[in-house]
Chains A and B, each alone.
Chain A
Amino acid sequence: MSKELLKGNEAIVVGAILAGCRSYFGYPITPASEIAETAALLMPKVGGTFIQAESEIGAINMVYGAASCGQRTMTASSSPGISLKQEGISYCACAELPIVVVDIMRGGPGLGNIGPEQGDYNQMVKGGGHGNYKVVCLAPNGAQEMCDLTMLAFDLADTYRNPVAILADGFIGQMMEPVEIPAPVIDLPEKKWAVKGTADTRDNLVSSIYLKHDDLEAQIHKLYAKYSEIEKTEVRFEEYRLDDCEYVAVAYGIVSRILMSAIDEARDAGIKIGMLRPITLWPFPNERLRELSRHVKGMLVAECSTGMLIDDVKLAIECSVPVRLYSRVGGNIPSATELGNAIRQLQEELP
């Protein structure tokens, strides 16, 4: 049998191990804990390391240490835990360390609750730590993608020497779906810059200090040159029933799944609507959205946050057509019926 029924959270660890990740440092938090539990189970079987760190801060700094040595390494948490990791992510970005961070979002702010939410959009997509940097942000919407995009995350992290985030929500993490297991990655790229405790790496230094202002400015420019390359080459998205569409809906994660159902029903009712689902939230599919905006009457953004994704959509299309928001928060997710109503309203408003 080559399909496995896996929770999204389990699929992440399977993907990580297939991608050659050999250390996991994490701290328990609902709804991300299965990632740590699965890593605790599987890492020792492939000769890897699992440590339940003393804190989220400890975990991200262990990741910083392991990544400094060139090892593929990761951590995962949920919203409040990600807030705690942000300083470390900023350090990794400046020191150009390839790391993978998974955020299984829950309800916030504050302690909030453990329901699924997308309120971390800004803290992950816009880089939630201090300073000038960006994090590549991948948004899976099912268990197969939890596995596949985690593998991709390690490749992107190594290619660009930059942190890569997986941004999912409690439902995508908890849901079980069939996963086709990809072949393991065996030949990992050589990392000449890494500190390896060997004679030929004695000159290597991993650091985020640039004491001279001009030096730091040059480093930031170097990062942003990298980011502009990423924006050119790494944009990923899925199109769903966009042929001949008069309206475009935009959503990611669990909301995109529900939106698919709503779009099917709307199409059955004769409304020409399709979905553009960003798979990379940064880099954002600006160009494709701009193209679409030239042919449609309006757009609908559905998100489990108070209007964060919609900002990027409006920026991408420079507000050239009306964009409407359907938002649920607090651990609630929209039903297909609610989204169907929002689609009908959009059509009535912009016939």
Chain B
Amino acid sequence: MKDVFKKPDSFFDEFSRSAGVDKEATHYCPGCGHGNLHKLVAEAIDDLGIVDRTVFVSPVGCSVFGYYYFHVGNVQAAHGRAPAVATGVRRALPQSIVISYQGDGDLAAIGANEILQAANRGELMTVIFVNNAIYGMTGGQMAPTTLLGQKTTTTPYGRKVANEGYPLRVSELLSTLTAPVYIERCTLEDSKTIMKTRKAIRKALEYQISGKGFSLVEVLSPCPTGWEIEPLASREWLTKNMVSVFPPGVYKERTDAEPRTMEPLKVLNAQEVLGALNMSAGPDQRATSIPPDFPTHELVLAGFGGQGVLLLGQLLTKSSMTEGKFVSWLPSYGPEMRGGTANCHVVVSRKRIGSPFVPRPTLLIAMNQPSLEKFADSVRPGGMVVYDSSFVKTASIPSHVTPVPIPFSEIANQLGNAKTANMVAAGAIIALTGITEEESFTALIKKLRKKELIETNLKALAAGRESALALGIQVAGVGIH
């Protein structure tokens, strides 16, 4: 014999998760629309054959106990956050079907941003939005959808435009977005409108199953307890008062939306992961030969934004790293970067590095006047101040440090590329301090993608070296021994 009326498979036979004594009945009040709607959703899940794939997300509100009833994967969510939670679920499980079942306080007030953004991203999910113009679970407070003049426990004199504004029309609002594929508002007034709602829910789920995109069905639903109206009269109240403010209808439908593929996530093996990162695992195998008297160099490099001082610092750090030295690079970050000046701290040592922060450098590289003024006094006695004499015209440098003026920018200009001033500086620093081998630095330059840049930079590096050597400065002793 064929069952003509049975409990949907996607409902539990017995509501054993319910905190209530009666495991047969729902926790909903008599006349509440959630019961109707749960059944419509459950039947759709059954008929569309998605019961095993479905994940039901229930945020705070009367329907937070969706997991009492729906025998599908269940995730309970914080107030308003169901669309964000559903996004996480959907992205982790590309082949699932995700239903976010939300009330009006949840979706239209505290979670207004989450629903707006999930809809705008076109998340593959179906939202069932229950609009009963009131907060049910917390005991009848005003919702964004509460009607003008409607009395609630927090609008005891009736909702007033001057104090609370107008009822929020969610379907209209979301239908202005490009991404959603289907948005319809239905009602639960009578059997005819309930059948229409039934159809809309199926359609919404079908849009998700076919991978076309975000769908939402708003359902005007009675809340006899919150409204303090008898169950039967509440359906009439809905027809009389809500339907004109929230007109039912299809607000958006994009039948031609391009379906997305929903492949299961690929699991990569170790080689594929490292390949994707372009890295190789394991301990460093390179032989290191750091001279036993190699001192600890603590550098401050500073200049205008765009002069490449951060990159210069990084390259010196990286070059020293390839020689097996201990290194650290610390930038100034944030708004300072936008103020036109930039600086970084570099430490290179044969020993493990404690502080990467350099308040007293052994070497200052100042690419402009303000940098020199800011940092010259901080240089340690016996240290060195290397500065771009193309920009620095009046240098007041403490007598206990060695000043090294080199016109980095002018040299770079003569070579035909002003941007290589930092490479000219690199050549000079390496020649003056031996912080790294020029060979190691050259190897880094040779890895650049653009061939013509390699040539230019190598020339700049050599020019920097020659300019430093030409000064004939005695450099032994720079750094902390």
Asked if residues A202 and B78 are in contact (CB atoms below 8 Å), the reply is no
Q: How far is the CB of A241 from chain B (nearest CB, A)?
A: 11
Q: Which residues of A contact B76 (CB under 8 A)?
A: 95, 205-209
Task: State which of A17, A87, A206 has its C-beta within 8 Å of the C-beta of B74.
Answer: A206
Task: State which of B117, B277, B322 has its C-beta within 8 Å of the C-beta of A54.
Answer: B117
Q: Which residues of A contact B117 (CB under 8 A)?
A: 53-54, 58
Task: State which of B113, B121, B269, B318 has its C-beta within 8 Å of the C-beta of A186.
Answer: B269
For residue B426, CB closer than 8 A to chain A, the reply is: no
Q: How far is the CB of B111 from chain A (nearest CB, A)?
A: 9
Quick one: which of A237-283 are within 8 Å of B by CB?
254, 257-262, 264
Q: How far is the CB of B97 from chain A (nearest CB, A)?
A: 7
For residue B5, CB closer than 8 A to chain A, the reply is: no
A203 to B352, CA, bound (A): 53
Question: Contact flags (1/0) for B76-90 with A, using CB distance below 8 Å?
Answer: 111001001111111
Knowing A61-B88, A199-B52, say if A181 contacts B280 (CB, 8 Å): yes
Quick one: which of A187-207 are within 8 Å of B by CB?
195-199, 201-207
Quick one: which of A44-92 are within 8 Å of B by CB?
45-49, 51, 53-55, 57-59, 61-71, 73, 87-88, 91
Task: State which of B53, B67, B284, B314 has its C-beta within 8 Å of the C-beta of A197.
Answer: B53
Asked if residues B74 and A175 are in contact (CB atoms below 8 Å), the reply is no
Asked if residues A197 and B95 are in contact (CB atoms below 8 Å), the reply is yes
Q: How far is the CB of B280 from chain A (nearest CB, A)?
A: 5
Task: State which of B265, B284, B321, B356 has its C-beta within 8 Å of the C-beta of A257.
Answer: B356
Residue of B nearest to A5 (CB): B318
Task: State which of B52, B88, B274, B326 has its C-beta within 8 Å of the C-beta of A66.
Answer: B88
Asked if residues A65 and B86 are in contact (CB atoms below 8 Å), the reply is yes
A142 to B83, CA, bound (A): 37
Question: Contact flags (1/0) for A13-31 with B, using CB distance below 8 Å?
Answer: 0100110001101000011
For residue B157, CB closer than 8 A to chain A, the reply is: no
Quick one: which of B311-365 are within 8 Å of A by CB?
314, 317-318, 321-322, 326-331, 333-335, 352-357, 359-360
Q: Which residues of A contact B335 (CB under 8 A)?
A: 114
User: What is the number of residues of chain B that contact chain A, defined by CB distance less than 8 Å?
Assistant: 78
For residue A131, CB closer than 8 A to chain B, the reply is: no
Asked if residues B52 and A51 are in contact (CB atoms below 8 Å), the reply is no
Q: How far is the CB of A15 from chain B (nearest CB, A)?
A: 11
For residue B63, CB closer than 8 A to chain A, the reply is: no
Knowing A65-B57, A175-B329, A206-B74, say if A46 contacts B279 (CB, 8 Å): no
Residue of A nearest to B280 (CB): A2
Asked if residues A2 and B88 are in contact (CB atoms below 8 Å), the reply is no
For residue A1, CB closer than 8 A to chain B, the reply is: yes
Asked if residues A62 and B281 are in contact (CB atoms below 8 Å), the reply is no
Q: How far is the CB of B375 from chain A (nearest CB, A)?
A: 15
User: Most chain-A CB neighbours within 10 Å: which of B51, B77, B88, B116?
Assistant: B88
For residue A42, CB closer than 8 A to chain B, the reply is: yes
A34 to B91, CA, bound (A): 22
Q: Which residues of B contact A222 (CB under 8 A)?
A: none
Asked if residues B88 and A260 are in contact (CB atoms below 8 Å), the reply is no
For residue B75, CB closer than 8 A to chain A, the reply is: yes
Q: How far is the CB of B196 from chain A (nearest CB, A)?
A: 29
Question: Contact flags (1/0) for B262-282 with A, using CB distance below 8 Å?
Answer: 000110111011101101111
Q: Which residues of A contact B321 (CB under 8 A)?
A: 3, 5, 178
A214 to B277, CA, bound (A): 49
Q: Which residues of A contact B273 (CB under 8 A)?
A: 17-18, 46, 184, 186
Quick one: which of B51-74 are within 8 Å of A by CB?
51-55, 57, 64-65, 67, 71-74
For residue A318, CB closer than 8 A to chain B, the reply is: no
For residue A109, CB closer than 8 A to chain B, the reply is: no
A61 to B270, CA, bound (A): 30
Q: Which residues of B contact A1 (CB under 8 A)?
A: 280, 284, 286, 322
For residue A329, CB closer than 8 A to chain B, the reply is: no
A68 to B92, CA, bound (A): 9
Q: How far is the CB of B85 from chain A (nearest CB, A)?
A: 4
Q: Which residues of A contact B279 (CB under 8 A)?
A: 2, 4, 14, 181
Q: Which residues of A contact B84 (CB under 8 A)?
A: 53-54, 57-59, 61-62, 64-65
Residue of A nearest to B326 (CB): A178
Asked if residues B19 and A212 are in contact (CB atoms below 8 Å), the reply is yes
Knowing A175-B329, A186-B270, A195-B74, say if A66 contacts B355 (CB, 8 Å): no
Q: Which residues of B contact A57 (CB under 8 A)?
A: 81, 84, 114
For residue B283, CB closer than 8 A to chain A, the reply is: yes
Residue of B nearest to A6 (CB): B279
Asked if residues B97 and A183 are in contact (CB atoms below 8 Å), the reply is no
For residue A211, CB closer than 8 A to chain B, the reply is: yes
Knowing A176-B314, A205-B74, say if A197 contacts B93 (CB, 8 Å): yes
Q: How far is the CB of A107 from chain B (nearest CB, A)?
A: 11
Task: State which of B77, B269, B355 has its C-beta within 8 Å of the C-beta of A64.
Answer: B77
Q: Which residues of B contact A264 (CB under 8 A)?
A: 354
A67 to B75, CA, bound (A): 10
For residue B234, CB closer than 8 A to chain A, the reply is: no
Task: State which of B73, B277, B317, B355 has its C-beta within 8 Å of the C-beta of A261.
Answer: B355
Residue of A nearest to B114 (CB): A58
A264 to B355, CA, bound (A): 11
User: Most chain-A CB neighbours within 10 Å: which of B51, B65, B72, B87?
Assistant: B87
Q: Which residues of B contact A (CB under 8 A)?
A: 17, 19, 51-55, 57, 64-65, 67, 71-78, 81, 84-93, 95-97, 113-114, 116-117, 121, 265-266, 268-270, 272-274, 276-277, 279-286, 314, 317-318, 321-322, 326-331, 333-335, 352-357, 359-360
Q: Name 16 interchain pairs, CB-CB below 8 A, sorted by A.
A: A2-B279, A5-B314, A46-B272, A62-B91, A64-B81, A65-B85, A69-B96, A71-B92, A186-B270, A197-B52, A197-B53, A197-B55, A198-B73, A206-B76, A260-B352, A260-B355
